[in-house]
Amino acid sequence: MLYQITNGTVSLEGEVILSHIDFTIKGKEKIAVVGRNGAGKTTLLRLIAGEIELDRDDKRQGPGISCSRRLTIGMLRQSNLMDQEKTIEEILLSSCPQRDTYSKERFLYEMEYDRLFTGFGFQKQDKKKKLCAFSGGEQTKISLIQLLLQKPDILLLDEPTNHLDVETVCWLEEYLRDYEHAVVFVSHDRFFLDRVVDTVYELSEKTLKRYVGNYTQYRSQKQKELTIQKKQYEQQQAEIQRLEELIKKFKNKPKKAAFARSRQTILNRMEKMPKPRENDVHIFTGAIEPKVLGSKWVLEAEHLKIGYDRVLLELSLRIKRGQKIGIIGNNGVGKSTFLKTVAQIAEPMGGSLVLGNQVLMGYFDQQSAMIESEKSVAEHFSDLFPAMTQKEVRHTLGAYLFPGADAAKRVSDLSGGEKARLILCELLSSRPNLLILDEPTNHMDIQAKETLESAFKAYTGTILFVSHDRYFVSQVADAILVFENQSVLYYPFGYEHYLKKSTREEGSDIAAMVLAEDQAMIADLKAVPKAERHILKEIQTEEAYVDWRLRLGAEPMERAREAVELLEREYKELLLQEKLYLGTSLDETLFSLQKDLEEAWEVWNEECLKWFELYLELE
């Protein structure tokens, strides 16, 4: 146990912030602390950093905070605490424990310093500049670099991805995963947490609860817990109702009075379960289906040129009904312009763009959310959907996190994120078959984002969207359009798969990435009946496509097979070791390894079945 808080309480200005919490850091754990704004996450970091102390508690056994050894703890400080007139080199070298310029330690320190400095997007020549020459965001990066160079035993990071572009965040994820000590994070970047952390502490109602796994695994466990608690509560309430009915029925009947009293005793002794606290996120369990199915091909673009004063790029593309395509790329490359062109808000500068038959479109951007109205949310929504009863209106708004009092708020009083959520609720309730979304989750908290992610996953129509929220993209998109270098690349799998491929060793190609124009050709080819393909002499292209898909589908199957073989070798070697070294008990390790092997076999079996299904689909 590296660090431990036992039964700790923290009060600030007479208000209890953390109440009787237990918190543990083991070894090199990467821990996320999650919870709503104002829950006390930063207070917990300050407590670990030693900036504040636990309240005195005479009932607590022991000091409340214990460490396995003397620890160094580092927390990201604001950059304005540093000397603005010093050069970056002077600031960063001040943390070097070795002053001898020619020592090995100094050499290794400077190598790490260069690696961090360039990793955060700086040029080597920037080291000679004074701190005051950098922006506030850049100074925060420099503070983080200085902290990472010190390599504390416990690293405390509050929103470390703020002011960082996606490329730098990806680099930081890799660095922190391999960091040799423990790290505790507070961050709203869920994708970052998914890729880095292995333990999550949820801070809710001033208490902490520990979950093993990354952010997605924590949310899954949380949802399962809530489902079980609801079921147990409902069963107990049904039993209470049954007992009360029996008591009421028999208490005044002399022959049954003893029976009624025994039921009353059972009821009095029953430990009543509290009503489960509703999850802040609404999960849509049923499908959200469009009013009209629409044609198979939703959109067809042929040499489409987009832009305003000048052409930003040209692309050819076909989008099939039901696809959910996320668009990623740097700012200014034409992502929003493309959406506006598809939505017929901007005129094409050349080429053709054709929407399919019976395509009913819903469009959203940040301008859409700038609504003003003196009506309440419920009144505003009712006016748009007059056929809905008041009960249906309340139920729909509640599903999009406008319950009770929130539905009575004036529309004009809503925050930007709440207005955006209301517009998206209206769009999904109108049930178009094509949604065009430009940054739909901007200015929203995590609960709102996860509610909308659930809604978009339940929606069975077609979605074309732009978002900088990597977690949102990974949850919703089943294909990716990458806008870069005045071209558009199509990737037929999800964001995480794309990210793994794109971060492979330099020089290796992304086998699944194809030009959007080629994707359109492949879509055309697949639409042609097989007998006609032979006539068109396109059989070789079709075979290449099938081979490409099967090769990609086989990759996870091969990885699973390799994992099984590796575990089998370890198990056999350990078994042999137990036989050779008498008196040495390896039973616990063998049992654990055997369990891992069984799980690996199950994964391999599942991947084999997935590949076989793909094979049957392509045949």
Q: What percent of the chain has pLDDT over 70?
A: 88
Structure tokens at 492: 């037929």
Instruction: Check residue 532 and give its pLDDT.
Output: 39
Q: Residue 276 falls within a domain, yes or no? A: no
Give me the residues paired with residue 326 across strands. 465, 480
Comparison of pLDDT for 37 and 587, the residue scoring more: 37
Q: How far is CA 29 from CA 8, 32, 199, in A?
A: 21, 10, 7
**6-15, 234-243, 383-392, 561-570: range with lowest mean pLDDT:** 561-570
Over 90: is that where the pLDDT of 218 sits?
yes
**Whether residues 10 and 154 fall in one domain:** yes
For residue 578, what pLDDT is reported?
Answer: 56
Cβ contacts of 10 within 8 Å, gap of 6 or more: 16, 17, 18, 40, 43, 47, 52, 54, 55
- Identify whether 48 is part of a domain: yes
Read off the DSSP letter of residue 360.
-
Determine the Cα–Cα distance for residues 88 and 83; give it in Å rounded to an integer: 10
Note the pLDDT of residue 350. 93
Q: What is the mean pLDDT of residues 397-417?
A: 92
Whether 509 and 420 map to the same domain: the answer is yes
- Structural domain tally of the chain? 4
In-domain check, residue 289: no
Is 510 in the same domain as 608?
no
Q: Residue 412: name the closest of 452, 442, 437, 379 by CA.
A: 379
**Residue 42 in domain:** yes
Helix axes 539-580, 516-527, angle to 10 degrees: 100
- Whether residue 243 is contained in a domain is answered as yes
Whether residue 507 is predicted with pLDDT greater than 70 in this model: the reply is no
Q: Do 301 and 447 belong to one domain?
A: yes
**Residue bearing tokens 């700038």:** 370
pLDDT: which is higher, 562 or 60? 562
Q: How many other CB atoms are found less than 10 A from the CB of residue 118?
A: 13
HSE value, Cβ hemisphere, 13 Å, CA-based, for 180: 5
What is the distance between the alpha carbons of residues 110 and 79, in angstroms, rounded to a whole number?
Answer: 21
Q: Which of 200, 218, 236 is the last residue of a domain?
A: 218
Query: What 3-state DSSP class applies to 479?
Result: strand
Separation of alpha carbons 301 and 19, rounded Å: 59
CA-nearest of 352, 359, 363 to 520 is 352
Please tell me whether residues 228 and 327 are part of one structural domain.
Answer: no
47 residue type, one letter: L
**200, 208 in Cβ contact below 8 A?**
no
The residue-averaged pLDDT of 266-289 equals 87
Q: What is the mean pLDDT of the chain?
A: 85
**Which DSSP state fits 58?**
T
| Domain stop point among 499, 520, 541 | 520
SS (HEC) of 253-267: CHHHHHHHHHHHHHH
Report whether 340 contacts 321 (CB < 8 A).
no
Q: pLDDT class for 518, splitting at 50, 70, 90?
A: low
Nearest Cα residue to 328 out of 456, 441, 435, 468: 468
Q: What percent of the chain has pLDDT over 90?
A: 48
- If asked whether residues 493 and 349 sit together in one domain, one would say yes
Structure tokens at 73: 């703890």
Residues 6+ apart with CB under 8 A from 517: 315, 316, 317
Residue 353: count of CB within 10 angstroms of its CB: 17
Residue 458: inside a domain = yes
pLDDT in tens, 46-95: 999 999 999 988 777 778 899 999 999 999 865 445 678 888 888 888 87
Single residue among 497, 520, 543 that ends a domain in this structure: 520
pLDDT for 461-488, tens place per residue? 999 999 999 999 999 999 999 998 888 8
Q: How far apart are CA 74 and CA 103, in angstroms?
A: 26
Whether 253 maps to a domain, the answer reads: yes
Query: Per-residue b/e over 437-464, b at no fewer than 16 CB within 10 Å?
Result: bbbbbbebbbebbbbbbbbbbebebbbb
Same domain, 214 and 233: no
Mode of pairing for the β-strands spanning 462-466 and 324-329: parallel
Residue 619: pLDDT band with limits 50, 70, 90: low
CATH of the domain at 463: 3.40.50.300
- Average pLDDT, integer, range 162-189: 90
> Distance (Å, rounded) from C-alpha 436 to C-alpha 462?
9
Q: Grade residue 525 by pLDDT with cuts at 50, 70 and 90.
A: very low
Report whether 366 contacts 439 (CB < 8 A).
yes
What is residue 385's three-state secondary structure? coil
Nearest Cα to Cα of residue 216 among 435, 422, 474: 474
**For 103-107, 175-179, 237-241, which range has the lowest pLDDT when averaged over its residues?**
103-107
pLDDT beyond 70 at 277: yes
In a domain, 507, yes or no: yes
For residue 509, pLDDT beyond 50: no
Residue 17 is given by DSSP the state E
Position 325 pLDDT exceeds 70: yes
Kindly indicate the confidence band of residue 110, based on its pLDDT and cuts at 50, 70 and 90.
confident
* Span between the terminal Cα atoms of the chain, in Å: 55
- Do residues 479 and 567 both lie within one domain? no
- Is the pLDDT at 367 greater than 70? The verdict is yes
Residue-range definition of the domain harbouring residue 239: 220-269
Q: What is the pLDDT of residue 353?
A: 94
Q: What is the pLDDT of residue 523?
A: 59
User: Residue 519: which pLDDT band, with cuts at 50, 70 and 90?
Assistant: low
Q: Pick from 33, 20, 31, 24: which is nearest to 3 by CA?
A: 24
**Is the same domain home to 166 and 106?**
yes
The yes-or-no verdict on residue 534 having pLDDT over 50 is: no
* 297 vs 319: CA distance, rounded Å: 6
- The residues facing 32 across adjacent strands are 185, 200
pLDDT higher than threshold 60 for residue 382: yes
Decide if 436 contacts 343 (C-beta within 8 A): yes
Residue 24: which H helix or E strand, with range?
strand 15-25
Beta strands 350-355 and 324-329: pairing type? unpaired
Residues 366 and 450 both lie in one domain: yes
In this structure, are 172 and 190 located in the same domain? Answer: yes
**pLDDT at residue 97 in the model:** 77
Our CA angle for 109, 155, 442, nearest 5°, is: 110
Q: Are residues 120 and 193 in the same domain?
A: yes
pLDDT per residue as tens digits for the range 136-150: 888 888 888 989 999
Q: Read off the pLDDT of each residue in 226-239 and give the average, rounded to a whole number.
A: 92
Q: How confident is the model at residue 517 (pLDDT cuts 50, 70, 90)?
A: low
